[in-house]
Structure 1
Amino acid sequence: MECNYHLFLLLMTWTLYVSAVPFGNFSGNYRYNLILDPTHDIHFFWDVDYRRNLVHVKIVSRVPETSWFGVGFSDYGESTFADFVVFWTNSQGTHHFQDTWTDGKGILHIDSSQDYVLERGKTQWDMTVLEFSRHFETCDGKDYQLDNGTTHIVYFVSEGNPRSITGHNVTAAYHGLQRVQLLKPDINLARFPPDVWTFEILAPKVHVPPVETTYWWYTTTLPPLPNKQHIIQYEGVIEPTSKNLVHHIEVFYCVGVSGRLPFYNGPGLAEGKPPELASCRNVIGAWAMGAGPIAYPEEAGYAIGGRGFSQFILLEVHYNNPRFIKGVVDSSGIRFYVSPTPRKYDAGILELGLEYTNKMALPPGQDLFKLIGYCIRECTSIALPRRGIKIFASQLHTHLTGKAVYTKHVRDGVELPELNRDDHYSPHFQEIRRLPEPVHILPNDALITVCEDSTKDRKHVTVGGFSISQEMCVNYVHYYPKSDLEVCKSSVDTRALNGFFEFMNRMEKMPTSAKKGDIDNYNSIDWTPLNSHLLKHLYATSPLSMQCNQSNGDRFPGYWDGMPLTRIIVPLPNEPSSCPRWQHYR
């Protein structure tokens, strides 16, 4: 019967590997690896072949021979509607390697199309080594389609030696997930020059407050830098004891401080900065939960030091502590790699998307609701250099309702290839990702950042803001050569929003009022499907209020309220699929 499913039946006598051998000895030619489970029993190695659109995987497992396991993928880490490859041994001692899927209840089914190709396998006692490959797109509706966004790798371990695995409930087994960018771009990272040195900016043994959201501020200084140098890489340094509490970290350079900066070490403001810290606004390093190191391309680095360069910086750590845990002491921060030999270009960081403001909101009970932030051509035309800039890395950012984020690139009404996209975005995994190739942005180009949010489990409206329970929609892009444009973000025009609240009061009899603030007005509305649709229409049609901001915090000259939306006249064509037209994906 199993032959009808084209299954790989493995009849093996294994002798090579023993459980005492450390996992590191199995890396071979695989460039990437990840430990899947908390007890370090399942190690996932992989590599990517873009020429043949294949991902090559090696699983090294210490699952006992009296148990069986599966590893695979799902949209957001669920064990339901998942795509698993399963290794199991029946009561006769026969080994099986099978492509499977789970339904909405987590029940396991054998896939009629076996798309995981086993290449090698060995086992002895409690050690199993499996090497296999799979195409990015298999044209099988039960398989997960791999892309270059976030991939949720799921796994389970179940006890026993079953006669058949069909009908087993994966959700009842020991299971979990890890997040990774599986299809990493093929980029040749620049080698460190011999003169590289490092420094760290760390939180000074902060006693993390037992409250949901804390922005901790700490002012300190850079090492003495009499000459210009370039940051060429940075990475998070996260305390193991507080890794589940540190949501993101930013290091701000304090512009133009020639004397002393007031010392600060304590909880900061959720929004804005006091006047004495207003100069600390240029981001020189950032980390978010799940992120790895960010390396600059060999032609660019972030400039620090030299004549007139202020030594003062502000470290901001966002702690997310929804369980109000007490007694955690944190010294997390960022490590910088610096070269005294300057590179060709100075790099910069530009914020795209929506303003941090409660003018935006998400109605409750929405499967998906789009929030859209604009960087309009009227801003790039006056703020970017004549030859434009090249964006080489991107960090998409939302809070807890974000499900997908992407940034569109528009030139003269024509939509160009997207800057970055993550269709399975997770707020718990916000990497700064190098782009496969730098994207050239010219003056008069527009960039549109779209966040698709889900509030189906929320009973109340979600407004924009800094708290983790509020929402953001941002893309932090890294580029060169550095310009004076630091923020290019939008919000709905204030007059249009006030008109919406007035309409809701007059026509829908909602207790909204011009005397109330935006948060109170949003909370005064009964979010019926009709009212949710009206808000969506408001955002899709209303003019914009723009933040087209210089690095000193001031707006570029011009009138930035009531600005028109960017219209796409020629959309980007859909990429042709290699699958038959009749093929339907789940």
Structure 2
Amino acid sequence: GYGMLLFLFLPCLCSGQAVPLLLRFSSFLDPSNMVYLRWDHDEQEMITFELRVRTPGWVAFGFSPHGELSGSDIVIGGVFPNGSIYFSDCHLVDEATLDEDESQDYQLLSLTQNETFTTMMFKRHLCTCDLNDLDITMDTARLITAFGTDDTVQFSKGQKFSKSLFLMKYRGSSDSTDPKIFFTYDLRLDNFAVPAEETKYACTFIPLPMVKQKHHIYKFEPVLTPHNTTLVHHILVYACGSDSVLPSGIDDCYGADPDFALCSQVLVGWAVGGESYQFPDETALSIGTPLDPQYVRLEIHYSNFDLLPGLIDSSGVRIYYTSELRKYDVGVLQTGIFTFPVHFIPPGAESYRSYGLCNTSQFDEVNGIPVPELHAFAYLLHTHLSGRGVRVAQYRSGEQLGIICEDKKYDFTLQEVRDLKKILTIKPGDEILVECSFQTLDRSGITFSGLSTMNEMCLAFLFYYPRNNISSCTSYPDILYIAHMLKQEASDTVEGMMAMDFIDWDNETIKSAEKAAKEANQVVVIKTINVTSTLSSDNKKGKIPFSIPLSENFPALRLDFLQNDMFCIQAERKGTRKDVKLALYPRI
């Protein structure tokens, strides 16, 4: 059992205070704010954590492949009543079997306890090369925390929490400059009665601040009604074109009245686990000029799984804006697959990849004046419940330049704006390819692209400067080609979509559909910010570039220095990675 586990006893000097490190990032890991994590990472691929738990007993922290205990890479520590400490790098074989790792790859920096808190500070390499340790990557991490009231480690009796978090952030709040004079403005619902339904999308249209001259929105953060924090699933704010005719009141976003789904250009977004976001110092969203939106659509997705009655909510987003203008206006470009039922995902798929193409060569024509280079600095990825991964690649003259951004462990419950490591230039004529990976093992019917949570989307929003008039550049495949490759009769788009229901889906037909959708001609649709004056290049065809994104973001071979004069070699062959630990000569 857990109590029998032998821990590594460390000399008492560890229990002294470590040199306080500036850890730029922090988050509570549980709904009651009992578990507080601070962390940071450095150029040496080392990540440091400080875990503070409101308990006098044992504490555990680690990483899980899918959010469950079994298979987790976990570190456990605490202070015995006599003042000696225990700390160990372990893994959970299953929910009832905890084993200590042969290779102890977490280094304890300090471990202290008082009547209220146990605080543990430790560090590890992003990649340890220990098969029992999970790599920390540019993907969403599933964090596991647990704790007990005494020093007998028993997961069955302790409190346990799982939370998705993106650890590889590049900018902390201390890295940003706040303007001297700023204003706040809340975009939120007013005492909305949340229905006793599992899922509700509530939408309303709100004016942006009325300013006489240009101002910049430089930061936004969620404003959640305190007792409803577990109820609000995600919040999106969409910009409305100046000539949109908008409805009043609050209604179902994707219900009977289609007007409540107007305005599709995302300005800001937040979801469970997300924090506030501040734009880099040189950039911000413009308001107050004739080109700027005057209204936004506020969309709040509620998950009332316990069907609680009588809930009233006034959640939303708080924006910070200033008259101290920054150098560049931010634009948001929506890329990926045009949301239209021509995009479908077969049922019973372990993994099904879909592709959306943006060809920027028509931007000048659609924009009306030449579009300057786009300098992308951040991104927001979006699929619905069956999405498992999203990757965005950049092509120039048919050659892949690299991956713009990706998340191979995408989690629908954590949709947030993330910074790119460095600013990326997209030149006129470049192609942007969005690849989404879906899993539909739990579905018996086809999942079509659409607005409901049970439909699917495959989108990547790129935040860039300087702003232009293009709001989206997406594509959808030629459904007739797909139908014919699957040996179905169809003479128009509607027949092509309907034909998908006649297919007997198995591994072979799923792979054939994926291949046909990738080979088909792509209809590229480019839209401008004013929805009604859309010029879409429906007659322009595109092809998915043949060199599909690399299977990993690793170079073919990578060397890492580890402790104890070991090297870690990561070799990649045919998309599989082999981690090899080699003892080489000590470094000089």
Interval containing the TM-score (normalised by the shorter chain): 0.7 to 0.9
**Residue in 2 that maps onto 1:456:** 441
SS for the counterpart of 2:37 is strand
Tell me the distance in 2 between the aligned counterparts of 1:86 and 1:343: 47
Three-state SS of the structure 2 residue aligned to 1:537 is: helix
Please, what TM-score do these two structures have when normalized by structure 2?
0.84
Q: Counterpart amino acid of 1:391?
A: A
Tell me the amino acid that sits aligned with residue 545 of structure 2: T
Q: Which residue of 1 aligns with 2:22?
A: 29
Offset, 1:388: 0.7
Count of aligned pairs between the two proteins: 556
- Cα distance in 2 between the residues matched to 1:479 and 1:404: 22
Map of 1:298-337 to 2, 5 A cutoff?
A: 298-306=281-289, 311-337=294-320
For residue 238 of structure 1, report the CA deviation from its aligned partner: 2.1
Query: Once the 2 structures are TM-superposed, how far is the Cα of residue 114 of structure 1 from its aligned partner?
Result: 0.5
CA-CA distance at 1:39 after TM superposition: 4.3
Pairwise CA distance, 1:526: 2.6
Shift of 1:221: 2.2
Secondary structure of 1:182 counterpart? coil
Cα distance in 2 for partners of 1:153, 1:144 equals: 11
- Structure 2 residue 557 is matched with structure 1 residue 576: yes
**Corresponding residue of 2:515:** 537
Deviations 1:496-530 (A, max 9, x none): 244356x246xxxxxx9979767754444332222
1:405 aligns with 2:390: yes
What residue in structure 2 maps to residue 21 of structure 1? none
Q: Which runs of 4+ in 1 moved over 6 A?
A: 13-17, 89-93, 512-519, 569-573
1:146 is aligned, of 132, 136, 161, to 136
2:141 and 2:167 in contact (8 A); partners too: yes
Q: Separation in 2 of the partners of 1:309 and 1:380? A: 19
Structure 1 CA distance for aligned equivalents of residues 250 and 494 of structure 2: 35
Equivalent in 418, 424, 427 of residue 442 of structure 1: 427
Partner residue of 1:291? 274
**Cα distance, 1:304–1:460 mapped onto 2, change above 3 Å:** same
* Structure 1 residues 189 and 521: alpha-carbon distance in aligned structure 2, compared to 1, 3 A threshold: farther
Give, in angstroms, the shift of residue 202 of structure 1: 0.8
Alignment of 1:375-390 (within 5 A): 375-380=358-363, 382=365, 385=370, 387-390=372-375
* C-alpha separation in 1, matches of 2:411 and 2:520: 29
Name 1:47's counterpart in structure 2: 40
CA distance in 2, matches of 1:455, 1:418: 26
SS in 2 for 1:133: strand
Secondary structure of residue in 2 paired with 1:538: helix
Matched, 1:231 2:217: yes
Cα distance change of structure 1 residues 127 and 216 upon mapping to structure 2, 3 Å threshold = closer
Paired amino acid for 1:203? L
Q: Secondary structure at the match of 1:580?
A: strand
In 2, Cα distance between equivalents of 1:171 and 1:448: 46
Where do 1:465-484 residues align within 5 Å? Answer: 465-484=450-469
The equivalent position to 1:550 in structure 2, one of 528, 535, 543, is: 528
Instruction: Provide the rounded CA distance (Å) in 1 between the counterparts of 2:179 and 2:217.
Output: 12
CA RMSD of aligned residues (A): 3.5
Aligned to 2:52: 60
Following superposition, the deviation at residue 250 of structure 1 comes to: 2.8
Percentage of identical aligned residues: 26
Preserved contact between residue 301 and residue 346 of structure 1 (Cα < 8 Å): yes
CA deviations 1:323-353 (Å, max 9, x no partner) are: 5443222211111111113222221111111
Distance 1:33 1:220, change over 3 A: closer
Once the two structures are superposed, what CA deviation does each residue of 1:442-471 show, in whole Å capped at 9, x if it has no partner? Answer: 111111111222222333332221111221
Matched ranges for 1:346-357 at <5 A: 346-357=329-340
The answer (yes or no) to whether the contact 1:320–1:468 under 8 Å persists in 2 is no
- Is the 1:80–1:171 contact (alpha carbons within 8 Å) kept by the matching residues of 2? no
Q: Which residue of 2 aligns with 1:495?
A: 480
Cα 1:449–1:6 shift into 2, 3 Å: farther
Contact in 1 for aligned 2:242/2:293 (Cα 8 Å): yes
Bigger mean CA offset, 198-207 vs 380-389: 380-389
Q: Deviations over 1:195-229 (max 9, x none)?
A: 21111111122112334443322223233212111
1:376 is displaced (CA, Å) by 2.2
Report the Cα offset of residue 305 of structure 1.
0.9
Instruction: Identify the residue that residue 71 of structure 2 maps to in structure 1.
Output: 81
Match of 2:170?
185
1:563 aligns with 2:517: no
Alignment of 1:411-430 (within 5 A): 411-430=396-415
| Other structure's SS at 1:342 match | coil
User: What is the alpha-carbon distance in structure 2 between the residues aligned to residue 529 and residue 374 of structure 1?
Assistant: 25
Deviations 1:390-410 (A, max 9, x none): 111101111112222121111
Cα deviation, residue 474, structure 1: 0.9
1:110 pairs with 2:95: no
Shift of 1:308: 7.8
The residue aligned with 1:23 is none
Question: Alignment partner for residue 525 of structure 1, among 490, 495, 503?
Answer: 503
Segments of 5+ residues of structure 1 without an aligned counterpart are 18-25, 506-511
After superposition, the Cα gap between the structure-2 partners of 1:319 and 1:309, relative to the gap in structure 1 and judged at 3 Å, is: same
Contact 2:69–2:144 (8 Å) recurs in 1: yes
CA contact (8 A) 2:109 2:122 kept: yes
Shift of 1:562: 4.3
Question: Is 1:119 aligned to 2:109, yes or no?
Answer: yes
What is the aligned partner in structure 1 of residue 204 from structure 2?
218
Q: 1:261 to 1:72 in 2, by over 3 A?
A: closer
Residue of structure 1 equivalent to 2:193 = 207
Q: d(CA) in 2 for partners of 1:176 and 1:283?
A: 31
User: What is the CA–CA distance in structure 2 between the aligned matches of 1:533 and 1:235, rounded to whole Å?
Assistant: 42
Deviations 1:1-21 (A, max 9, x none): xxxx9974135499999xxxx
Distance of 2:12 and 2:116 partners within structure 1:
14
Which segment is superposed worse, 247-256 or 343-352?
247-256
Measured against aligned partners, the alpha-carbon deviations of 1:557-578 in whole angstroms (never above 9, x if no partner) come to 6443543223339968725322
Q: Can you list the C-alpha shifts for 1:516-546, whole angstroms capped at 9, x where unaligned?
A: 7677544443322222122112212111122
Q: Structure 2 unaligned runs (5+)? A: 560-567, 572-576, 581-588
Moved more, 108-117 or 261-270: 261-270
CA distance in 2, matches of 1:376, 1:153: 38
Residue 72 of structure 2 aligns to which amino acid in structure 1? A
In the other structure, the counterpart of 1:255 is 241
Amino acid of the structure 2 residue aligned with 1:543:
N
